[in-house]
Amino acid sequence: MAFVNEHYLKLSAGYLFPEIARRVAAFAAERPDVAREIIRCGIGDVTEALPQCAVQAMHQATDELADRATFKGYGPGSGYDSVRGAIAQGDFRSRGLDVADDEIFLSDGSKGDCGSILEILGAGNRLAVTDPVYPVYVDANVMFGNAGAAMAGGGYEGITYLACHEANGFLADVPSDDATDASGARVPAPDVIYLCSPNNPTGTVMDRARLTAWVAYARKHRALLFWDAAYEAYNRDADAPRSVYEIPGARDCAIEFRSFSKSGGFTGVRCGYTVLPKSVMAYTRAGVAVALHPLWMRRWNTRSNGVSYAVQRAAESLYSAEGRAQVGALVDFYMENARILREGAMQLGWKTWGGENAPYVWCKTPAGYDSWQFFDRLLREARVVTTPGAGFGRCGEGYFRISAFNSRANVEEVVRRLGNLQRSEQLQALEPV
Ligand code: PLP
């Protein structure tokens, strides 16, 4: 008899984006006359063409593969040395950060890495995530057995949710050592903490002082920080670290996840990487410190033959002088979209966050609507797809996210339609927030 991983059975309702897709498809089937007008600002998927340097690198790699003399078969599981070197130099050492080439592990994107890193940790680590949060962290931990049952109203037992709300600027506060839950019981310190900055979904960035406090907390509790920097390229705030390794001591307790999806437009190409410093430790039940780097290396060599050659070459090309300029132009394009959306929402009187250091604008729903109700309203009446904040956690209720990944024309049209909706008879009856 084959046994199933019963942790999968704990997963509550489907993943957020399939539910959005289901609602959009249902509306399109109901109203085929307007289906073509739907503008998707929900899922954060890029829309613009790949940087030319990446296209050329892939063409060139294909030519190499077409010639027996330059053909490549299996490559190293964690990436070609030259690519790891370009990343370590380009993203870290050139900014004064101590990261060695062999501390970079290439992958097909950071969504997978955020979950598969759990393979080298013991079962039963106590997880802390922000609320609202990128849902992948939670679901991956549920699948690995690091959570209890789904709770009514959202979330899972056994996970520490770090509430992010207007009062703390949607940034996770470091828990106090004697934090208690609703029943007065002491909440144990988390063992693994996911932090994401620039943040998906709120678009906020974590300041240096707060991240310094998180590093101190992790070191004190021998916990691990998982720093998801998928949107690092969008961070323009000099006081917000672009890498966790800007904080002294982070090399002992932090693993960083990066992606080329939102910097190089690689959502379809698929490439990202993990930084795992050799000094990061986890512990046996007997309290013996074990370096995670060799385990992660072992895991890669056993579970994968790495990222495709052409894709690695494309990633490497982003670090050339022309590659940097092209990535910069792409990011600037989406950031201008974010500015248009943010200012548009603010002009409607909506309270907004993000959009200045991230490609997401986080808005408060008008009074009288919860976030799925307002999602439906925007879909049906403005034919604009957003993401309801409740899909990211309890604290996301009452908010929604607009993605800046779209064409300029669509972004301008979204602002126009939101304005029309706001001015329409029905919404005028509502108080803008
Ligand atoms: N981390 C965050 C916070 C994201 O929003 C995303 C994608 O949207 C990812 C990771 C995954 O990126 P990738 O395309 O590299 O898998």
| Residue pLDDT, tens place only, 80-133 | 999 999 999 999 999 999 999 999 999 999 999 999 999 999 998 999 999 999
Which pLDDT score, from 0 to 100, does residue 152 have?
Answer: 85
Find the 166 Cα to ligand 1 centroid distance in Å: 24
Nearest CA owner, ligand 1 atom 15 = 109
Which pLDDT score, from 0 to 100, does residue 223 have?
Answer: 97
Residue 429, pLDDT > 50, answer: no
Q: Tell me the whole-structure pTM to 2 decimals.
A: 0.95
Which pLDDT score, from 0 to 100, does residue 360 have?
Answer: 98
Q: Which of 134, 271, 405 to mutate to test the pocket of ligand 1 (most atoms within 8 A of CB)?
A: 134
Cis upstream peptide for 132 (omega within 30°): yes
Which pLDDT score, from 0 to 100, does residue 54 have?
Answer: 98
Q: Is residue 4 part of a domain?
A: no
Residue finishing a domain among 294, 321, 348:
321
What pLDDT digit, counting tens, does each position of 179-219 carry? 777 777 888 899 999 999 999 999 999 999 999 999 999 99
Q: Which of 41, 133, 197, 200 to mutate to test the pocket of ligand 1 (most atoms within 8 A of CB)?
A: 200
Find the 64 Cα to ligand 1 centroid distance in Å: 30
Taking the C-alpha atoms of residue 74 and residue 308, their distance in angstroms, rounded to an integer, is: 9
On whether both 301 and 234 belong to a single domain, the answer is yes
Residue 14, pLDDT > 70, answer: no
Residue 319, pLDDT > 80, answer: yes
Number of structural domains found in the chain: 2
Residue finishing a domain among 321, 342, 364:
321
Task: Give the mean model confidence (pLDDT) for residues 244-260.
Answer: 98
- Cβ atoms of residues 303 and 325 within 8 Å: no
Q: Which of 259, 267, 270, 401 to mutate to test the pocket of ligand 1 (most atoms within 8 A of CB)?
A: 259
On whether both 342 and 299 belong to a single domain, the answer is no
Residue 178, pLDDT > 60, answer: yes
Which pLDDT score, from 0 to 100, does residue 423 have?
Answer: 82
Which pLDDT score, from 0 to 100, does residue 334 have?
Answer: 98
Which residue segment(s) compose the domain that 376 sits in? 13-48+328-422
On whether both 155 and 19 belong to a single domain, the answer is no
Q: Which of 15, 47, 110 to mutate to test the pocket of ligand 1 (most atoms within 8 A of CB)?
A: 110
On whether both 130 and 238 belong to a single domain, the answer is yes
Which pLDDT score, from 0 to 100, does residue 177 have?
Answer: 83
- Can you tell me which residue has the tokens 């991956």? 140
Q: Is the dihedral of CA 18, 20, 22, 28 positive or negative?
A: negative
- Mean pLDDT in the chain? 94
On whether both 21 and 161 belong to a single domain, the answer is no
Find the 114 Cα to ligand 1 centroid distance in Å: 9
Find the 409 Cα to ligand 1 centroid distance in Å: 25
Cα-to-chain-centroid distance, residue 232? 10
On whether both 88 and 207 belong to a single domain, the answer is yes
Task: Give the mean model confidence (pLDDT) for residues 215-232.
Answer: 98
Tell me how far apart the 2 most distant CA atoms of the chain are, in Å. Answer: 72
Taking the C-alpha atoms of residue 100 and residue 87, their distance in angstroms, rounded to an integer, is: 10
Q: Is residue 258 part of a domain?
A: yes
On whether both 149 and 298 belong to a single domain, the answer is yes
Which pLDDT score, from 0 to 100, does residue 180 have?
Answer: 75
Q: Which helix (H) or strand (E) holds 316?
A: helix 309-317
Find the 419 Cα to ligand 1 centroid distance in Å: 30
Find the 422 Cα to ligand 1 centroid distance in Å: 32
On whether both 353 and 371 belong to a single domain, the answer is yes
Weakest mean pLDDT among 12-26, 82-96, 113-127, 361-375: 12-26
- Cβ atoms of residues 432 and 350 within 8 Å: yes
On whether both 369 and 384 belong to a single domain, the answer is yes
- C-alpha separations of 303 from 20, 39, 50, 116, 299 in Å: 32, 39, 29, 10, 6
Q: Is the dihedral of CA 337, 342, 343, 347 positive or negative?
A: positive
Residue 387, pLDDT > 90, answer: yes
Residue finishing a domain among 321, 343, 368:
321
What pLDDT digit, counting tens, does each position of 392-404 carry? 999 999 999 999 9
Percent of the chain whose pLDDT exceeds 90: 90
What pLDDT digit, counting tens, does each position of 34-65 carry? 999 999 998 889 999 999 999 999 999 999 99
Find the 142 Cα to ligand 1 centroid distance in Å: 18
Nearest CA owner, ligand 1 atom 2 = 230
Of the candidates 276, 377, 265, the residue with the CA atom closest to the CA atom of residue 330: 265
User: How is residue 400 written in tokens?
Assistant: 């929604």
Residue 378, pLDDT > 90, answer: yes
Which pLDDT score, from 0 to 100, does residue 15 have?
Answer: 64
Confidence grade of residue 426 (pLDDT, cut at 50, 70, 90): low
Residues framing ligand 1 (Cβ under 6 A): 44, 109-111, 134, 196, 200, 228, 230, 259, 261, 267, 272
The answer for 212, left when phi > 0, alpha when psi is -120 to 50, beta otherwise, is alpha
Which pLDDT score, from 0 to 100, does residue 428 have?
Answer: 47
DSSP state of 87: H
On whether both 193 and 123 belong to a single domain, the answer is yes
Confidence grade of residue 427 (pLDDT, cut at 50, 70, 90): low
Find the 117 Cα to ligand 1 centroid distance in Å: 15
Question: Can you tell me which atom of ligand 1 is nearest the CA of 200?
Answer: 3
Taking the C-alpha atoms of residue 366 and residue 350, their distance in angstroms, rounded to an integer, is: 7
